[in-house]
A = this chain, B = another copy of it.
Amino acid sequence: MAEELRTLVERLKAVSHPLRLRVLSLLELGELCNCQIAETLQVPASSVSEALRELRRAGFVAERKDGRWVFMSLVSRELASPFLKGLLEEAAAVPELQQDRARALAVRALAIPVVCSKVQRDAPTEREAARV
């Protein structure tokens, strides 16, 4: 049970990154699939996928596959950890993350296929116009 220093550092590094922190914060709303997150945050799907991989590696999120979609959610055991609980509490007060969450709610209100077919999956559509 006793956690290693290295493990704790890896967990910290996993969340010390703007995109990964934004994704983590979104998942507090409940499970989301890659494309919902990509659409919400207006970033390439491959970047979201990489962010999720790191968060999974650190043990924060788990995946549930359903057909071609992969839904990610926070691991409840982690949610009980003092560190993550404190971090999310602090994150809840960050304006940018609040805006992300508001967008996510709007995105989640749509049917997934509708959302996902809109996602810029690599073509440099309008990344520049990514106003929050």
Binding site for B on A (CB under 8 A): 2-6, 8-9, 12-13, 15-18, 21-22, 81-87, 89-91, 93-97
Contact = CB atoms under 8 A, between A and B. Distances in A.
A3 B82 contact: no
B2 A94 contact: yes
Protomer copies: 2
A95 B85 CA distance: 22
Contact of A16 (B13, B91, B97): B13
A18 B10 CA distance: 9
B94 A86 contact: no
A16 B14 CA distance: 9
B81 A90 contact: yes
